[in-house]
Structure 1
Amino acid sequence: MGKRALERRLSAVSTFDQPRVELEQYPTPADLAAHLVHLADVHHDIAGNIVLDLGTGTGMLAIGAATRSPARVVGLDCDSAALAQARENERRVEPSASIDWLLGDATRVPLCTVDSDSPVTVLMNPPFGAQEGNEHADRAFLEATADIADVSYSIHNEGSMGFVESFADDADAEVTHAFRAELPLSRQFEFQRRERTVLDAEVFRIEWR
């Protein structure tokens, strides 16, 4: 299945019914998810690997990865309502691999779930840390990723290049790819004045080991 076909399948993934502002629950667009999964597939980072989607939300990245012959896919999130939607989205899309949906803190990954010699790939669209009281949330996700991943793909706020590269250097890791992306968002929260806006973002591939 090519990238365009994957994007069409992922367009069936529903977004948050009741998004929580404190968790910065912004959906990952189907086209960006398809591109990210395709890139990971080209670099042999999914097939045969354990794939973790940290802060999976309604499951977009986990479901995309589950179409690419992984050894295992785990979607982890602290919001039970979002995970219920993720399970429904999995039934709707019917990827070739099943997904384990876990309720928990994505910044404190239960390492007992990673019980294989297979390489570990993290795919994630973490909170940007833009909301008051949630500052540096993306750092916490990267810290968790550094402990468990061989390679990761993550979406960050525009202007994060310096921070991500510095974090990777401190962890003896390497940013191998970086590109800009756009997150088109419909109005979800009261503080959003426009019915539709576009967030500029950056995506990074990091090799951790």
Structure 2
Amino acid sequence: MSTKTRLAQQLGVVAGFENPRVDLEQYRTPPDIAAHLIHTADLQGDIEDRVVVDLGTGTGMLALGAVLRGPKRVVGVDLDPDPLATARANERRVAAAADVEWVRGDATQVPLAPKEPTTVVMNPPFGAQSGNEHADRGFLATAAAISEVSYSIHNAGSEEFVESFAGDNGGTVTHAFAAELDLPHQFDFHDAERQTIDVEVFRIAWDGAET
């Protein structure tokens, strides 16, 4: 197993969104956060020889991190075809030994029903835009439906919501850690050149999965 630092370096070549959509809250997941999430999942036995599904994969950061850690299969799902094209180019940049299946689809109505042990990884929209509140709820519902365990990034202060949602849907939050998300100036409403926001990452074991 490579180190978390080495994984972050490998993911440093992953390009972000060329034309990000504000309605989908499209931001590139920073390589260091992606590496931390994937490394933690790997240490828990949630990557190697398992199916890994990246919901709302964007340009593929989490999916490509997972494929570098010996999964059985990796699937990246996104509604927007443009970042999926970038994700395919990023796959070539990372030069992983295994392929990723890139699927265009709605992460909240994902057309997947894996029969093998499955882990979901995701950086869902936080619901920060008007009319898009609680957007991460649908992503968590999909994770509950198709996986035994999930790792997800949420806005700081989401612990009560995530624990409540998990409890209502047969899940248990087993791990949580805080991180910082560095956002570049990419939309008209951004005032600063860069902005750092606090986030939280949660591991949820679903439907009686091992904790």
TM-score band w.r.t. shorter chain: over 0.9
1:207 to 201, 205, 208: 205
Percent of residue pairs identical: 59
2:175 to 177, 180, 202: 177
Report the AA paired with residue 173 of structure 1: G
Report the AA paired with residue 175 of structure 1: V
Query: What do the CA deviations read for 1:111-148 (whole angstroms, capped 9, x no partner)?
Result: 25x2x3x2100000000011012111100111111111
Report the AA paired with residue 177 of structure 1: H
Partners of 2:108 and 2:48 in 1: how far apart? 25
Query: What do the CA deviations read for 1:92-117 (whole angstroms, capped 9, x no partner)?
Result: 001122100000101001125x2x3x
TM-score, L = length of structure 2: 0.96
The aligned counterpart of 2:56 is 55
The aligned counterpart of 1:96 is 97
Report the AA paired with residue 24 of structure 1: E
Matches within 5 A, 1:96-175: 96-112=97-113, 114=114, 116=115, 118-175=116-173
Report the AA paired with residue 36 of structure 1: L
Post-superposition offset of 1:165: 0.4
Q: Secondary structure of the equivalent of 2:127? A: coil
Q: Secondary structure of the equivalent of 1:191? A: coil
Q: Secondary structure of the equivalent of 1:152? A: strand
Q: Which runs of 5+ in 2 are unaligned?
A: none
Q: Which runs of 5+ in 1 are unaligned?
A: none
Aligned pairs, how many? Answer: 206
Q: CA RMSD in A?
A: 0.8
Query: What do the CA deviations read for 1:136-161 (whole angstroms, capped 9, x no partner)?
Result: 11001111111111000000011100
Following superposition, which runs of at least 4 residues in structure 1 exceed 3 angstroms of deviation? none
Post-superposition offset of 1:172: 2.1
